[in-house]
Amino acid sequence: MPKFLIWIAALAALIALPHGLSFSQQEILVFLTINVLLVASYRLLTLTGEWSLGHVVIMGVGAYSSALLTKKLGVYVPVSMLLGGVFAALIAVLLSFPLFRMKGFYFLIGSFAAGEIIRLLWKRFRDPFGGAKGIKGIDPMPDFSVGFYQFDFFEPTSYYYFAGVVVAVCLWILWRIEKSPVGLTFHAVHWQDKLAQASGVNVRAYRTLAFAIASGFAGISGALLAHYVGTINPNAFDIDLMVFVLTWAIVGGTATFYGPILGCVVLTVINEVVLRELGLEQMRPLIYGAIMILSILFLPNGLESIVQKFTQRRASNGAPERSPAE
């Protein structure tokens, strides 16, 4: 029962949150919401033991697909967002053929190369991708009303509520997958692919499945971004953002579902509140790099290990929690 109350309180806080913020902070809140989905989808991929450097480009695939579907074919925006996710997942399945011939470090490099090729295609083909300038004037989410609330998507608060619901549903699905026998099989593929295979697991199919699901949700996060900012270009999905995703995941820790989300939220707050106040924004990459190194040195299991310390003390008589730290 108290757990239920905690959820209610958290929900109320999330609803009230934008009203205490300035306009620019509200905008940051929208980006944060989108990034939470991005980093949570990234974790699903890491469950099978693969770390990709192409995840942000896949997010871009979702953004470009959704933008083009609305612009060229007049698809209704929420539908195009969903299709953007589907398209990103399909591209991931295609990429899996060359990429899953590689493992570990080679997969990392291969995924980076694949991402750069996609970015080159966006730059090279002005039609339909708009070249280096990208796509401008992307249709916004059409306003609508749900009776007690009028969504006006020029307001960041409205978009925050909308994206919040989409992201919450996506996180719920990711969570259900992780806690299911499919999620256990992902872990099995990660820790001992030989034994998994001897148990009848089609390892290749499961790695592809994780890659496709992670990419699909990254695609949805990209679509959410595209229809909010209204303009996308190849540089919006470059390696800089990928490094941020890696930093969020590593600083937060990847042993639990909430670890990467925690990393994303904490670092964004540090970034926006502290750095902006101090006028150190230009040094963001440097400071992120320093935070990453410090956390690897002093907090190897991520921020989540601090949370676990507190929650485990309370529930120490329950079944022991597994923490498959790398």
Partner 1 sequence: MTDFLEVKDLTMRFGGLVAVDSLSFKVAHGSIHGLIGPNGAGKTTTFNMISGFYTPTSGQVLLRGEDISGLQMHEVARRGVVRTFQHSTLFAELTVLENALVGTHMPFRPNIFAAIIGWDKEDRSGAEARAKEALEFFGLDHVMHERAGDLSHGHQRALGMAVAYASHPDVVLLDEPFTGMNPEETRQMMDLMERLKADGITILIVEHDMQAIMGLCDNITCMSFGKFLAEGGPHEIRNHPAVIEAYLGGARHVA
Candidate list 3, 72, 194, 313; residue touching partner 1; CB under 8 A? 194
The residue within the footprint of partner 1, chosen from 180, 273, 280, 293 (CB under 8 A), is 180
* Percent helix, percent strand, percent coil in the chain, to nearest 5: 75, 0, 20
Q: How many CB atoms lie within 10 A of CB 210?
A: 26
103 touches partner 1 by CB under 8 A: no
Using CA atoms, how far apart are residues 15 and 30, in angstroms rounded to an integer?
A: 13
The pair of structure tokens assigned to 29 is: 């809140």
Structure tokens at 17: 């949150």
Q: How far is the CB of 259 from partner 1 (least distance, A)?
A: 16
198 binds partner 1 (CB under 8 A): yes
Phi, psi of 217 (to 5 degrees): -75, -35
10-18, 246-254, 286-294, 315-323 -> range binding partner 1 (CB under 8 A): 315-323
CB of 80 to partner 1, least distance (A): 23
User: Which of 259, 267, 217 lies closest to 241 in space, CA to CA?
Assistant: 267
The residues, ordered by sequence, that sit 6+ positions from 141 with a Cβ below 8 Å of its Cβ are 77, 78, 151, 153, 159, 162, 227, 228
Task: Tell me: does residue 324 bind partner 1 (CB under 8 A).
Answer: yes
Maximum CA extent, the chain: 61
Binding region for partner 1 (CB under 8 A) out of 96-104, 119-127, 279-287, 318-326: 318-326
- Amino acid, res. 99: L
Residue of the chain from 140, 168, 197, 305 that contacts partner 1 (CB under 8 A): 197
The window from 12-20, 108-116, 186-194, 301-309 that contacts partner 1 (CB under 8 A) reads 186-194
Work out whether 317 is an interface residue with partner 1 (CB under 8 A). Answer: no
Q: By the criterion CB under 8 A, which residues form the site for partner 1?
A: 173, 176-177, 180-182, 184-185, 187-188, 191-192, 194-203, 209, 319-320, 322, 324
